[in-house]
């Protein structure tokens, strides 16, 4: 059953077509990788799904419901969460608060409730705190609860972004280069974490990644973008040997040899 479908979506920036007529269907509970050389349009594709850009053409459906062109916060509410290529944490806030912000779509505290601190609001806050803490434990950041996010080591910041995204209770999780800047040990941990997230929570995971080892290990499907166009799709094995893909990455000469 498909969880997220993009139907021939297109995005122009001035004269440049960043994404052209791309259609992808993401199965529920799958792990899918979107790869391609730099400037292929991968992040633009993510930005259209999460509502940061609205596509110039085409449609996006989540769970059979249209979400094309909705504001990012509505899309987040509907169940798509993401991380960012260049980490975007709430730097001055504590690690726990970062995760708690992720929970906001599920908190009901209103203006008056907050002002008068009703028992309902208090217990909700308390619950959110515990939930956030357990998520931090889940991704392995339990010891950093009170630190400012900006003081975390790089790998931990990536993990915190994932924890924050999980806090929104997503159906679909988009990871934009989650392993960038990680050492091999951290990458292995991350690989396990992604698999675990899918297995524990039945979340559909889509990732952009340049680390091919990671991509090949965990993806069930791989889509390849080049110059904004979908040039290949298939199982990891198929992609590895696809001449179009090799050409896109290495240039024409690579094949003729």
Partner 1 sequence: MKKLASLFSSSRTFQSVLILLIVLCTSTSLYLMDKSVTSFLLLLFSFLLLYYTTFSNWIKWGAGALIAFAVIPVAASGGPSQQVYMEVAVMAGIYIAMALGLNIVVGFAGLLDLGFVAFFALGAYVYGIFASPQAQALFHNSSIFPLGGESFWLFIIVGALVAALFGIILGVPVLRVKGDYLAIVTLGFGEIIRIVFNNLDKPINITNGALGISGIPQPKLFGFTFTQASHIYFLVLIVLGFVIYAVRRFEDSKLGRSWKAIREDEIASQAMGIPLVKTKLWAFALGASFSGMMGVLFAAKNQFVDPTSFTLLESITILVMVILGGMGSVPGVILGAAIISILNLQILTEITLFLTQNLHVPEVFSPAKMQRLLFGLVLVGIAIFRPQGLIPAKNKTYKIADLKAKLSKKNTKTKETTTSI
Partner 2 sequence: MQEILSTLPQVLLDGLTLGAIYAVVALGYTMVYGILELINFAHGEIFMAGAFIGTALLFTFVDIGLALNWLTLILVLLLASLLTGVLGVGIERIAYRPLRKAPKLIPLISAVGISFILQDLVRFIAEYKTGNYIVTGQTVFENKIAIPAFSIGGYDVHASAIKSNTLVVIGIAVLIMIVLDIFVNRTKWGIAMRAVAQDRDTAALMGINVNKVIALTFFIGSAIGGATGVLYAQQYATINPFIGFILGLKAFTAAVLGGIGNIRGAMFGGLLIGLLEVFAAANLGILTGGALGAEYKDVFAFIILILVLIFKPAGLFGQAVKEKV
Determine which residue in the list 6, 24, 89, 245 makes contact with partner 1, applying CB under 8 A.
89
Interacting residues of 104 by C-beta distance below 8 A, sequence separation 6+: none
Tokens 């991704």 locate to: 139
Length of the chain: 257
Q: Which does 104 bind (CB under 5 to 8 A by kind): partner 2, partner 1, none?
A: partner 1
Instruction: Pick the closest to residue 194 from 137, 132, 136, 139 (CA basis).
Output: 139
Sequence-distant (6+) residues with CB within 8 A of 138 are 163, 166
Nearest of 102, 90, 80 to residue 174 by alpha carbon: 80
Task: Spell out, one character per residue from 77 to 96, where the chain touches partner 2: x when CB under 8 A holds, - when not.
Answer: -------x------------
Quick check: 109 binds partner 2 (CB under 8 A)? no
Site string for partner 1, 108-127 (x = CB under 8 A): -x-x--xx-x---x---x--
Rounded distance between C-alpha atoms, residue 106 and residue 102, angstroms:
9
Size of the site for partner 1 (CB under 8 A): 52
Q: Using the rule CB under 8 A, which residue among 27, 61, 85, 145 binds partner 1?
A: 145
Span interacting with partner 1, options 26-34, 129-137, 211-219, 242-250, rule CB under 8 A: 129-137
Distances in whole angstroms, Cα of residue 8 to Cα of each of 22, 208, 213, 219: 4, 19, 29, 23
- 43 touches, from partner 1, partner 2, none (C-beta below 5 to 8 Å by class): partner 2
Helix (H) or strand (E) holding 34: strand 31-35
Cβ atoms within 10 Å, residue 148: 16
Q: How far is the CB of 174 from partner 2 (least distance, A)?
A: 12
Question: Site residues (CB under 8 A) for partner 1?
Answer: 50, 52, 71-73, 76-77, 81-82, 84, 88-94, 96-97, 100-102, 104-105, 107, 109, 111, 114-115, 117, 121, 125, 129-131, 133-135, 137-138, 142-143, 145-146, 148, 164-169, 201
């Amino acid at each position: 059953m498909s969880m997220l479908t993009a139907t021939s979506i297109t995005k122009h920036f001035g004269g440049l077509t960043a994404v052209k007529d791309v259609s992808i269907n993401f199965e529920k509970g799958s792990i899918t990788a979107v790869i391609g050389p730099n400037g292929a349009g991968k992040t633009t594709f993510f930005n259209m799904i999460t509502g940061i850009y609205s596509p110039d053409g085409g449609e996006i459906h989540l769970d059979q419901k249209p979400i094309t062109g909705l504001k990012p916060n509505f899309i987040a509410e509907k169940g798509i969460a993401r991380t960012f290529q260049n980490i975007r944490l709430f730097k001055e806030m504590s690690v726990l608060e970062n995760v708690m912000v992720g929970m906001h779509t599920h908190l009901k505290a209103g203006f008056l409730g907050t002002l008068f601190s009703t028992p309902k609001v208090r217990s909700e806050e308390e619950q959110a705190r515990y939930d956030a803490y357990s998520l931090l434990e889940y991704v392995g950041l339990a010891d950093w609860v009170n630190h400012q996010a900006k003081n975390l080591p790089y790998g931990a910041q990536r993990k915190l972004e994932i924890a924050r995204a999980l806090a929104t209770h997503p159906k679909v999780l988009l990871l934009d280069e989650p392993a960038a800047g990680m050492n091999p040990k951290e990458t292995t941990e991350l690989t396990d974490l992604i698999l675990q997230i899918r297995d524990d929570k039945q979340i559909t995971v889509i990732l952009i990644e340049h680390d091919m080892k990671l991509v090949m290990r965990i993806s069930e499907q791989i889509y390849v973008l080049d110059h904004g166009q979908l040039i290949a799709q298939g199982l990891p094995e198929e992609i590895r040997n696809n001449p179009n893909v090799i050409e896109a990455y290495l240039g024409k000469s690579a094949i003729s040899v």
